[in-house]
Each structure stands twice: as structure tokens, then as C-alpha cells.
Structure 1
């Protein structure tokens, strides 16, 4: 892989809370861990002024190829993955921070084909998913199978209602103190379009569980007004002969925060793993 000296050149697409964290971390610690910024893009470039060096601000995303880089990191919205994912892979490795976009089977297939065609890696960060590598190994071995009355892979995400960003009006009538409300229960393929910014953890699990895919992985999102300090992610995995694993992760998060605080460090660790794995999808 051609790099700038010994430093991996990173392009960051999106400057919300997560994008801002990654940019600040690269500017502060990048050289020590082999990373440097190639560019930063945000839909509203004014938000970058004073926070990102002017020479690193990319005004027009369609001109990204003018800023050579080794890894492009998307941390804004699934629509960017749909519009630019194939173009990104034609020029560099691509880390999909909004893997809910991969619930679209046509886009998923085309991105995988592009990764193979160009010899690039389509990186999918684990985010708040605990045990993703284990799920992947179980799936690859053909042992990810539900027992009688059980789902092979089930994920429940519970958050305070202020933390959800839904495409419909399912939560428009919530009131403080109402307790728990199941907002959706079904396949992750159907859930991703409803909550594209909230269920990237489930999307990462669906990528790990390739034998099941987005349709075969079952997910549930729960609004809970008691969860004012953290998000809860529960993962239930089953296999043959009574095998099962149940994990519960409590991820500290502020009211209204889409992303839990522990996920920021997880993304940073994922970025450090993007060293080029050529022509495939890689859960990092």
C-alpha cells in the first residue's frame, strides 16, 4: 500500500460527534500511531472552520480523489455510503461507519464486488457489538444455527427515547416516565431503514453473521425512559447441541446521544486495524 512516508493517510467524511472525535484524535495522536489526515469533509463546511486546518478541508466530496489517501472513513449517514461507496473503493480502502446501509442487498453486493475488483478492503467497525469476531467464526464454520424455538442471532438495543433517530413518527408521543416500549421487533433488514443511525451495531452483527445475512439476524429496539445514563445492547447467539451465549453491554451515554461514549474508543481501535486486508469485507 502506498502511503505518505510511513503514515497511513485518512480521509474523514462527516464531522458529527464521532467524526470530530476521530479528527481531533488523529491530529493529536496520529503521528505516534502511524496516521495522518488527508482531508475532512462535512455537509456544512462552516462547522470545520477553526477546528480543522484549512488545507485539510474538502469543500466538494465529489473531488475526494484529488486528496490521495489510504483509508476513507464514513461517519455521517448511510446515504453517503450509497452515493459514494463504490467511488471510494475505486481509490482507497473504505471504512463504513454506517453499516446499516448494507441492509440494501443490491448495494451490499455491489460494494463487495467493488472491493474484490479493486483489491480494496471494505472495513466494518464493530462499534458497540461485543463478540463480533466470535459470531463471525461461528458463522463461517456453519455452526450459527437456532435451536428449537430460538433465533440463531438476536440483538436487542434499549435506549432512552431521546437517543433514537427514527425515520417514522413511532416515538413522537413519548412522555418522561412512561417506562419501556418495544418500538420494533423483526429482521435487521427491515429495521435498518427505520433507524439507520441507531442500529449500526446490529448491522455489524449481520455482516459478521454472513451465513444469516441481514434478513436472518433478528433485532429489537426498545425505548426506556429509565435509561438516562447508558444504552444497553443484548446479544443472544445459539448453535447446535444446546450451545448458547448471552451478553449484556451497558454503554455509558448522555441523554439524546445516538452513540455511547465507549463506542468512540472502539472506533479508534477499528481505525488502527485498517492496515489493508485486500479485496474483501473485514470486521474490525
Structure 2
């Protein structure tokens, strides 16, 4: 499968290393869309890709799927055009807090018979949630996210502090750069308004910790994820980067689990 990559940041470099450098079976990044060709020109020689600065030329290249690994602004400006012509893996899921954009991408995917893949990112258990809610009988989903205090607040604290408690809708509005997990959780489950979120600033931890609790006719489930940072960028979850590669590998698999 030939992949077109939008972006050239830490996650993009992770994918180039893991796919092109380590030669993942049946996967190859062949095209990369960037804003500044001169800044990223070494990608061509280092990873055997071709750089593009025009979106139409990028989409015209011989690619089977587009992976967005840039930012929310790129999703708004580039994804509507991309999904008209290619299946898309969307990483900057925070863009989907914009209900109009989410509806537009959904409409375009249906109209042009394309798939929009949302990797699980920094959490797991989404298959459990989706299966448990297949009959619409999950009654509650609660997310508690703990992050190093310095990444959330400016004041110095010695004990943990709850800085937000409410719905995923309000959490995303108030902390759009910190609540991607709540977005994918709400989309997989019972919705933005019904998913409850607690955000905790903790001065005694050095990684992000997510705890998900769900109840329904199926029973109860609780799971916790403690994320190590991506070595190349401490602001990015290692698991989030790996989930993208996992999504790409599953697309062509004949044996699907979960």
C-alpha cells in the first residue's frame, strides 16, 4: 500500500523510520505534503519519498491512502479535498470538535465512498466500548486524565488538583490541545454530552495517565493507560504514534481481531 503523508513533524518522522527505513511489509510512504519544501528537502534522499507543496499534485501521485500527521489547521484546509479522492487516516482528531467539519467529512466520505480512519491514539479499549454499545445499552462512560501539573497550569502545586470536571463537550472547548482522548472516546461510545471527563494536574507524575470506566447491560469495565512520551517529542504519546502504524497494518489484513 502506497501512503501519502501530510506533515513532517515528530509523528511523520516516526512513520518514515518505521515504514520506509525498516521496510514494513506491504507498506511504503511514497509522497509527503509539506508547506516548506526547502526546510524538509532531506526527506527525499533520507527516505526515498517525493515532496509536494501543492495538494492537487500530492493527491495525483500514486498513493492509495492519505495519512494526516500535521495539525488541526491542516485538517480544516486539506482533508475535505483529500477525502474526495483517497481514504484518509486522521491523526489530529481534535479538529473533530468542530461539528460542522465532522459532518462535512462524514458526508464526503459517504458521497465519494471513502473511509476515514481514526486511530485509537493514546488509549485502548475502544473495541470493547463499541462492542458493548452495539445495542445502545452502555449507560455511562467516564474518563479521568492525569497530566504533569506543569503541562496544564502555571501555578506551582504540591498535591494533585482537579482543574476540570464536566462533559467531554465542555472539556474539549476549554482544553482543545489536551483532550484528544475524550474526542475519540465520545465518538466510539455514547457521545460528547454524555461522556464525563475529569482532568487532574498532578505534580508527582511525569507521564499522562488515562483511566476509563464504563457501565451498561454488558456489565462494567475499567482500564488504565500510562503513556510514555515519543522519544523524539516528549509532548507526543508513544502509543499514539504506534496506533497509527497499527491502523495502517490492519487495513490490509485478512484476519481481523476485535
Length-normalised TM-score, structure 1: 0.79
Tell me the CA shift for residue 254 of structure 1. Answer: 7.3
Tell whether 2:128 aligns with 1:134.
yes
Tell me the CA shift for residue 183 of structure 1. Answer: 2.8
Q: For residues 65 and 260 of structure 1, do their structure 2 counterparts lie closer, same or farther at Cα, with a shift above 3 Å needed? A: closer
Q: For residues 73 and 254 of structure 1, do their structure 2 counterparts lie closer, same or farther at Cα, with a shift above 3 Å needed? A: closer
Partner of 1:189: 169
Tell me if structure 1 keeps the 8 A contact 2:5–2:12. yes
Q: CA RMSD in A?
A: 2.5
Which residue of 42, 56, 79 maps to 1:50?
42
Bigger fraction of residues in strand: 2
**Gap regions ≥5 residues in structure 2:** none
- CA deviation profile, 1:223-256 (whole Å, cap 9, x unmatched): 212112x210100111138x22111111123798
Tell me if structure 1 keeps the 8 A contact 2:29–2:49. no
Determine the C-alpha separation between the residues in 2 that align with 1:72 and 1:46: 22
Secondary structure at the residue paired with 1:214? coil
Determine the C-alpha separation between the residues in 2 that align with 1:74 and 1:21: 13
Higher RCO, 1 or 2 (CA under 8 Å, sep at least 6)? 1
Determine the C-alpha separation between the residues in 2 that align with 1:251 and 1:22: 18
Matched residue count? 251
Tell whether 2:53 aligns with 1:59.
yes
Secondary structure at the residue paired with 1:227? coil
Alignment of 1:149-164 (within 5 A): 152-163=140-151
Tell me if structure 2 keeps the 8 A contact 1:126–1:266. yes
Tell whether 2:211 aligns with 1:234.
yes
Q: For residues 266 and 226 of structure 1, do their structure 2 counterparts lie closer, same or farther at Cα, with a shift above 3 Å needed? A: same
Tell me the CA shift for residue 47 of structure 1. Answer: 4.2
Determine the C-alpha separation between the residues in 2 that align with 1:88 and 1:46: 24
Which residue of 218, 236, 245 maps to 1:268?
245
Tell whether 2:151 aligns with 1:174.
no
- CA deviation profile, 1:98-118 (whole Å, cap 9, x unmatched): 122222222112211111111
Alignment of 1:1-284 (within 5 A): 8-30=1-23, 32-53=24-45, 56-61=50-55, 63-145=57-139, 152-163=140-151, 171=153, 173-175=154-156, 178-209=158-189, 212-228=190-206, 230-240=207-217, 243-253=219-229, 257-275=234-252
- CA deviation profile, 1:69-100 (whole Å, cap 9, x unmatched): 21111122122222222211111001110122
Tell me if structure 1 keeps the 8 A contact 2:32–2:58. no
**Gap regions ≥5 residues in structure 1:** 1-7, 146-151, 165-170, 277-283
